[in-house]
Chain A
Amino acid sequence: MASDDDAPSVRLIRAAAAAVRRHRRTVAALLALAVLGCWLAGGIYAVANGASAVVRRYGRVVERRVEPGLHLALPPGVDAVTKVKTGEVLRLQVAGDGGAPMSLVTGDENLIETTLIVQYRISSLASYLFHADDPTALLTQAVRAAMVDEIARRTVEEVLTSGKASVQNEVRRKAQTMLQAYSTGLSLVAVTIQAVNPPPEAVAAFLEVSDARAQAARAVNEAQTRRESSLNLARGRAERSLAEARTWADQRQQKARGAASRFEQVMAQARRTPQQTRTDFYLAMVRKVLPKARIIVLAPGEKPRIDIYLTQPGSAATPPGAAAGGAGPGGAGAVPGAGVEPMLGGRPPGPPPSKPIPPPPGG
């Protein structure tokens, strides 16, 4: 049958066809086996990392959760394998109908507009796939219901400021409870308030409130600062006056010590030459003091002719035989002879000299 002018490939095909015709049964059996093998091999499936699978046999779930790896199921037509990425966290925006922010009424009958972001995971694949018609619609409705309930219990102030975190937590908790009751196979990871605002027409009024709050806080802060600085200043002043007092007291002591030691030296000298020392001191003082004063010399036994104390400012007159100092707050006592009894006016009271000093021992 083969003609010599046929190409080698044609000759090969012809030879194969002839072989098939010769072993018809064997070939049919091999083909049937191959088809069967392919069908059976269709039951082998792999689940990727981060995914899991559910196996249904004639529609009924037989494997609720198949972990990642290579697995064997009954062939297609008997078992159906559904694979879903269950590892990832999904995100859903919950707003009002048509994607506009949800409009809600707060407990104190204020309107607010809000949008939420929900993050969730598929925690039970079989429930997620087969238990509810539209798990995410249920999720949306559950979060909305929880939000309505939560906002209805709070004041607008709370919702807009301090209460945000607790609203989020409560909504998550309530919505999660509902999702569990419905067996949606979803679990909430987080509910976040994406936006919460008063209606646009009232925004300015709310801004004014936060402005006023900031202003009040600023006033209080400034008062605190002033208080701090005035206190610091007062403490500084107090510290300074204490330091001054300490210095004064110190100086006073030093002076006292100096005076005491001077006195002791004089005393030592006076012990050695009592009369001499006293005379020296007396004369030194007289020389220092007398040139300042006006001196009227009277004849022996003569009485002063002036018997009034003071006639005009600047010229002092004193009782007989006495010297009156303008600075002396007390009176002046008369000392016979040249003696003058001083008063320690303005000085700390030491042992007060009560007796007239003895007249200088000769001159």
Chain B
Amino acid sequence: MSAIPRPFYWLAGAAAAGLLLSALYAVDETQVAIVTRFGRPLPGVAGPGLHLKAPWPIDTVIRFDSRLLVFASGPSEMLTADKKNVVVDSFICWRIANPLLFAQTVRTRQEAEARLLDFTASEMGAAVGREPMESFIHSGGGGVRLRAIGDGVGAAIGRLAAASFGIQVVDLQIAGFNLPAQNRDSVIERMRAERGRIATRYRSEGDEKALEIQAQAATEREAVLSAAKSQAESIRGKGEADALRIFAAAYAKDPDLYRFLRTLESYETVIDDKTTLFLQSDSKLLRALDGK
């Protein structure tokens, strides 16, 4: 048995193992890390995976979120170039691009976002002030530049934030556009008036169209009827002609007899109860009556 008690070996072994293990560090997929030696940052940024460093207490690891972070600026009221009040809301996607600078300047996400909000407010205000209302809303669609305005503000903020805080602004977009609450009543009043006009227009257009159809119907009806009339006439004419042809064909066989019969027939029409006949007593007609 030695003078040193046995548990000491165990303790010493554990401490040595701990020191050795502290020379290893893992960085998660969502993180980047920098190593400081006695508080002074070493150059280089460690990505995800297992890395080596000098054991504690020489080197210390500081980890940063490397993910895309999203931050909504919240609505704020601004003035367009044509002096209209609008409320613009935007969101910013950003990430820590320079962990060292980030650690030295803002350190936390909350702090960083507060700075970004300051930048956004001033840059967005300036950008909106340069644009007329048509750049934000335009029913033709052609003039709407929301995306371009967002990109411009994003780029401006990105330059500032990268230089000052080691932040990369990945994207900035306008995610809300509205009119100020105090204008709401007048806007709604205008909307109502506009709808009233449109309703009236619809009604009168409907009436107009109905009348048009009615007139067209009358024309069409007349066309149908007159076409039928002329067709009927031509049918009658043809019937008449056929009848005459039939007559003529028959009578041509004995025109003399025809004339005789035809004349007889016509007496029926010619002589009626209003007719007075003067007959000489020796007329053949009277004789014919006598001889019956």
Contacts and interface: CB of A to CB of B under 8 A. Distances in A.
A215 B264 CA distance: 72
B30 A130 contact: yes
A260 B218 CA distance: 46
What is the predominant secondary structure among interface residues of chain B facing chain A? helix
Contact of A212 (B146, B202, B214, B264): B202
Interface in B212-271: 213-214, 216-218, 220-221, 224-225, 227-229, 231-233, 235-236, 238-240, 242-244, 246-251, 253-255, 257-271
Interface residues on A, range: 35 or more
Given A138-B70, A220-B209, A223-B209, A212 B50 contact: no
B189 to A, nearest CB: 9
Contacts of B179: 105, 109, 111
A337 interface: yes
A178 B150 CA distance: 13
A290 to B, nearest CB: 6
Interface residues of B, number: 126
Nearest to B88: A148
A283 B254 contact: no
A149 B275 CA distance: 101
B289 A290 contact: yes
The 5 closest A-B pairs by CB, nearest first: A249-B239, A216-B206, A342-B266, A338-B285, A238-B228
A361 to B, nearest CB: 9
Contacts of B257: 263, 266-267, 270, 278
Given A253-B242, A357-B259, A141 B271 contact: no
A67 B257 CA distance: 115
Interface in B185-223: 187-188, 190-192, 194-196, 198-200, 202-203, 205-207, 209-211, 213-214, 216-218, 220-221
B67 A286 contact: no
A327 interface: yes
A270 B93 CA distance: 121
A197 interface: no
B177 A148 contact: yes
A227 B137 contact: no
B174 A249 contact: no
Contacts of A337: 283-285
B131 interface: no
B102 interface: no
Nearest to B267: A289
A37 interface: no
B68 A138 contact: yes
A257 B171 contact: no
A327 B269 contact: yes
A178 B173 CA distance: 10
A145 B93 CA distance: 13
Nearest to A138: B70
Interface stretch (A5-13, A17-25, A318-326): A318-326
B20 interface: no
Listed residue (A59, A182, A201) with the most chain B CB atoms within 10 angstroms of its CB:
A59
A293 B273 contact: yes
A283 B288 contact: yes
Interface string A326-363: 11100010000110111111111011010101111011
Contacts of A357: 259-260, 263-264
Nearest to B190: A109
Given A237-B225, A263-B258, A253 B49 contact: no
B134 to A, nearest CB: 9
Given A154-B141, A226-B214, A357-B260, A145 B67 contact: no
Contacts of A208: 195-196, 199
Contacts of A249: 235-236, 238-240, 242
Contacts of B83: none
A348 B274 CA distance: 24
A144 interface: yes
B65 A133 contact: yes
